[in-house]
Amino acid sequence: MRPHTAPVEGQQTGIEVTQAMAADALGWLSKMLLIREFESTAGPLVASGAIPGGMHSAIGQEAVAVGIMSMLGPDDVAAASHRSHHVALAKGMDPSFVMAELFGKATGCAGGRGGHMHLADFAVGFDGSNGIVGAGLGIALGAAFAQRYRQDGHCAAGFFGDGGANTGRVWEFVNLAAAWRLPLIVVCENNGYAVETRIEDAMAGESIAARAAGFGLPFVQVDGQDVAAVHAAAKRAVDRARAGDGPTFIEALTYRHLGHDVGERGQYRTAEEVQWWQENRDPIMRLRVELQRLGALDETGYEKLAAEAAERVRAAVSFAESSPLPDPATVADGVTGLPLKVRGPQ
């Protein structure tokens, strides 16, 4: 498998946004800035211990989530992986409830019971991050089944990574979705590394996307650092799903700027490689440049969007910090709807 993470000399960094798309694209930029700000703020809070546990930062991958969500409404569903803050926020989750969950507070989206890999808000159609590689696609598969069963015209997007593309369950899900023509958008975020394992060390075949050919569903490999390109791929897939024509497989080639998790001391990639991606393929920078070229955004406009994102994240941190911790006496409450009558200490 040819690595997409290797820098290529002389590649253009430009992306194409039409004048007609500019208004939408400003919204995409705003969402990407919110995600970037959220991750840039939460990471150091993990490192300092203010946020317990770890965190998988999605910095660098914002355009994949925002591009896909540009085509989904609140009644459509998304489910994602262990690296999913970008998907959750792009789908419309309130950053305050996400941040409070990271802090382990009672006001978090899972009441502090989940953590950063178990975010969900069913009211906005985000059916959950997932700590198990590839499993989020299965939840989206079931959502797509329910949509088909009800014939409600909605669709579901399931996210996983290049690591997930090597699990058996992902291809069971793809097969079932294709066999039953379910309205599922299969989104593989190929960031080149499964934790610290390079994709070319772990994967056979021409590409992840090409594997989908065996299941008879349309597939496309798209520049995941180009939000307009992801949007275009999402539009084709969503139109197809809503028309009842079945699932589509999208492999988005992307890159995470930070490590697999906060505090990673990885030796598996060079500083030069990371720098190349930051300088040449940053999805926010590329969209900003393009919108400026179109005359749709000036420096002041950009600063305003960035300030709005910063303010929303500041408010989220403030909400999380001031929220109460969950009551330890509730630790075994609400495990099931039916009382289990399991006996505690006598």
Identify the residue among 24, 94, 172, 245 touching another protein (CB under 8 A).
172
**Three-class DSSP category at 79:** strand
Instruction: Give the range of 82-90, 271-279, 311-319, 335-343 binding another protein by CB under 8 A.
Output: 335-343
- Choose among 197, 240, 195, 193: nearest CA to 220: 240
Tell me the closest approach of the beta carbon of residue 114 to another protein, in angstroms: 4
Q: Cβ distance 47 to 68 under 8 Å?
A: no
Identify the residue among 176, 234, 241, 320 touching another protein (CB under 8 A).
176
Identify the residue among 47, 179, 307, 315 touching another protein (CB under 8 A).
179
Contact between 188 and another protein by CB under 8 A: the answer reads no
DSSP 91-115: HT--HHHHHHHHTT-TTSTTTTSS-
Residues numbered 148-167 forming contacts with another protein, rule: CB under 8 A: 149-150, 156
Cα separation, 81 vs 129, whole angstroms: 5
Cβ burial, residue 56 (10 Å; 0-12/13-18/19+): buried
Backbone angles phi, psi at 195, to 5 degrees: 55, -100
The tokens 């709807």 sit on which residue? 337
Identify the residue among 5, 61, 96, 147 touching another protein (CB under 8 A).
147
According to DSSP, residue 2 is labeled: -
**Three-class DSSP category at 224:** coil
Four-residue CA torsion sign, 222, 136, 269, 212: negative
Provide the mask over 109-138, with x wherever binding to another protein is found by CB under 8 A and - wherever it is not.
xxx-xx---x-x-x----xx-xxx--x-xx
> Cβ closer to another protein: 31 or 91?
91
Contact between 242 and another protein by CB under 8 A: the answer reads no
* Orientation angle between helical segments 227-242 and 22-48, nearest 10 degrees: 110
Contact between 143 and another protein by CB under 8 A: the answer reads yes
Tell me the closest approach of the beta carbon of residue 88 to another protein, in angstroms: 13
Tell me the closest approach of the beta carbon of residue 85 to another protein, in angstroms: 16
Residues that bind another protein (CB under 8 A): 77, 79, 109-111, 113-114, 118, 120, 122, 127-128, 130-132, 135, 137-147, 149-150, 156, 168-169, 172-173, 175-176, 179, 332, 334-343, 346
